[in-house]
Amino acid sequence: MAALNRKERDRQLRRTDILKAAEHIFALRGYHKATIRDIAKEAQYATGTVYLHFKDKDALYFALLEEKLKTLLSITKEKIEQVKDARNKLEIYVREGLVYFEKNQDFFRIFISEGNELSAEQRLLKSSAGLQMQRYTTDLLKESQAQGVVSKDFDAERIAEVFTAITKTVILKWLQAKDRKSENLVDLSGLILKLFLDGAASK
Amino acid sequence: MAALNRKERDRQLRRTDILKAAEHIFALRGYHKATIRDIAKEAQYATGTVYLHFKDKDALYFALLEEKLKTLLSITKEKIEQVKDARNKLEIYVREGLVYFEKNQDFFRIFISEGNELSAEQRLLKSSAGLQMQRYTTDLLKESQAQGVVSKDFDAERIAEVFTAITKTVILKWLQAKDRKSENLVDLSGLILKLFLDGAASK
DNA sequence: TTAGTTATTGAACAACTGTTCAATAACTAA
DNA sequence: TTAGTTATTGAACAGTTGTTCAATAACTAA
């Protein structure tokens, strides 16, 4: 039935509108200070409308996180599958992450700024895409260890988090300095990989 | 005048009581969910009493942060000044940090969990001890570069933040696994330094 | 057109919490 | 003891914000 399809499509449109507005407002004010009113206003709907699409504020936040992470993961996976060498894979992993983040700075601000909050950490673990991302990173590092690119002395899971932390930190610093310098974020992927693999010591 | 001294001492006692309670409640619930009522109750005072010692909630949070960071910094500085070699200094820096964190897990939870929040980041910058800590770390890395321990290819400030991020991440992971394993946090200082200086690559 | 169905609205509700302040208690010094 | 001073209390206030729901608008199908 065509009518049903259009209805469904309209519904998706509203949902997308709200998600887009939420992304903007969350990024602007952070999770706590962002209000449903503001999000609704930004999306040009009434407050109540938001609740027709999302159970509550948390669900809205989750849905956003979920969507963004899912996209990033699928992009990354696709590109990585095209190469065999683990070092190449790591390079692609970092590069694609940076490209995606640079394109989605709004979302990115939430992820970085509230990502390390413990409650948000627990949220991330509840988020299936978040878990998938974490697992994928760990697997990537296990493969790197198997191929002899990363030392087997380290616990893959721990190393995966350190890898992520280095990346986040470099991004954060870039964000803070963004006004002054006009460096592309993606240009920092070499730095990140070098730091992670070879460390900061003089050679 | 003895009376004045005792009064002043009593005042300090109240202040300390409140700070101690605040540390506990903040750590338990995080900054936002911690209420002044809860803190007052924990310290066995009335709500209003808190305001006789701290201008508002923010000031209370600051005072706590300030006190803890100041102590950590002074301990670290003292120990570090006893050696000359930059690599030794870095080792001591990490080790003392871990020891202090292990002894102050309550405080630590706040610092780690809300430390990366942007608003809290701005708070940290306002906090003079936070700024001092940041500067001290950067200086330490500059010295390490001067002594040829750390590569001069990197920006000292950026490297300082990466260094801190690695440390935080390892601590966070340790905190999460704390129930299962019974590993001392301080035993991970070698791992942190190795990762930071030599990276994760196979050698 | 029209009766019924669905979607949207936004004012009202309720819960929470930072902050104040009048009342009370504790303390001080004469 | 007592008048004056200071410290403490916790109920009341005010602002905020997540959420609901009765009223209204839009839409659908006959």
Per-residue pLDDT of chain B (203 residues; tens, 9 = 90+): 444 577 788 899 999 999 999 999 998 888 888 999 999 999 999 999 999 999 999 899 889 988 999 999 999 999 999 999 999 999 999 999 999 999 998 777 776 766 544 344 455 555 688 889 999 999 999 999 999 999 999 999 999 999 999 998 898 888 888 766 678 999 999 999 999 999 999 87
- Alpha carbons B32 and A31: distance in angstroms, whole number: 11
pLDDT of residue B146: 98
Q: How far is CA B38 from CA A85, B56, B68, in A?
A: 55, 14, 21
Tell me: pLDDT of A135 over 60. yes
* Helix H or strand E encompassing B185: none
- Alpha carbons A21 and A39: distance in angstroms, whole number: 6
Tell me: pLDDT of A106 over 80. no
Tell me: pLDDT of A120 over 80. no
Nearest CA in chain A to B29: A119
Instruction: Give A41 or A120, the one with higher predicted confidence.
Output: A41
Quickly give B129 CA vs C26 C1' distance in Å.
Answer: 37
Whether residue A94 contacts residue A193, with contact meaning beta carbons closer than 8 Å, is answered with yes
A166, B166: Cβ pair inside 8 Å? yes
Tell me: pLDDT of A38 over 60. yes
> What are φ and ψ of residue B84, in 5° steps?
-110, -40
- Alpha carbons A201 and B144: distance in angstroms, whole number: 9
The residue among A22, A106, A32 whose CA lies nearest residue A64 is A22
Task: Tell me the torsion sign for CA atoms A59, A64, A65, A71.
Answer: positive
Query: Which of B33, B94, B118 is the best residue to mutate to test the A interface, defined by the most A CB atoms within 10 Å of its own CB?
Result: B118
CB burial of B160-170 (b: ≥16 within 10 Å; e: otherwise) equals bbbbbbbbbbb
- Alpha carbons B14 and B51: distance in angstroms, whole number: 12
The half-sphere exposure of A146 on its side-chain side, counting CA atoms within 13 A, is: 9
Residues 6+ positions from B197 with CB-CB distance below 8 Å: A199, A200, A201, B87, B90, B149, B150
The pTM of the full predicted model, rounded to 2 decimals, is: 0.85
pLDDT of residue B181: 66
Q: Which residues of B touch A195 (CB under 8 A)?
A: 154, 159, 162, 199
Query: Which of A57, A94, A116, A181 is the best residue to mutate to test the B interface, defined by the most B CB atoms within 10 Å of its own CB?
Result: A116
pLDDT digits (tens, 9 = 90+) for B108-158: 777 676 654 434 445 555 568 888 999 999 999 999 999 999 999 999 999
pLDDT of residue B125: 54
Q: How far is CA A132 from CA A71, A75, A122, in A?
A: 12, 14, 14
- Alpha carbons A170 and A108: distance in angstroms, whole number: 13
- Alpha carbons B79 and A103: distance in angstroms, whole number: 45
Tell me: pLDDT of A129 over 80. yes
DSSP annotation of B184: -
Tell me: pLDDT of A115 over 80. no
pLDDT of residue A130: 84
B112, A109: Cβ pair inside 8 Å? no
- Alpha carbons A90 and B199: distance in angstroms, whole number: 14
Residue A170 CB burial class (10 angstroms; 0-12, 13-18, ≥19): buried
Instruction: Give A132 or B182, the one with higher predicted confidence.
Output: A132
Query: Which of A141, A161, A162, A187 is the best residue to mutate to test the B interface, defined by the most B CB atoms within 10 Å of its own CB?
Result: A162
Quickly give B62 CA vs C28 C1' distance in Å.
Answer: 34
Any atom of strand C under 7 A from CB of A11? Answer: yes
Q: Three-state DSSP class for A82?
A: coil
pLDDT digits (tens, 9 = 90+) for A137-174: 999 999 999 999 999 999 999 999 999 999 988 988 88
pLDDT of residue A117: 45
Of residues A121, A150, A172, nearest to B201 (C-beta): A150
A199, B202: Cβ pair inside 8 Å? no
Neighbours of B159 (CB within 10 A): 23
Give the closest residue to D21 (Cα–C1′): A48
Residues 6+ positions from A201 with CB-CB distance below 8 Å: B149, B150, B151, B197, B198
pLDDT of residue A128: 81
C-alpha distance from A120 to closest chain B C-alpha (Å)? 9
Of residues A163, A194, A200, nearest to B196 (C-beta): A200
Tell me: pLDDT of A122 over 60. no
The residue among B200, B90, B196 whose CA lies nearest residue B143 is B90
- Alpha carbons B117 and B115: distance in angstroms, whole number: 6
Any atom of strand C under 7 A from CB of B48? Answer: yes
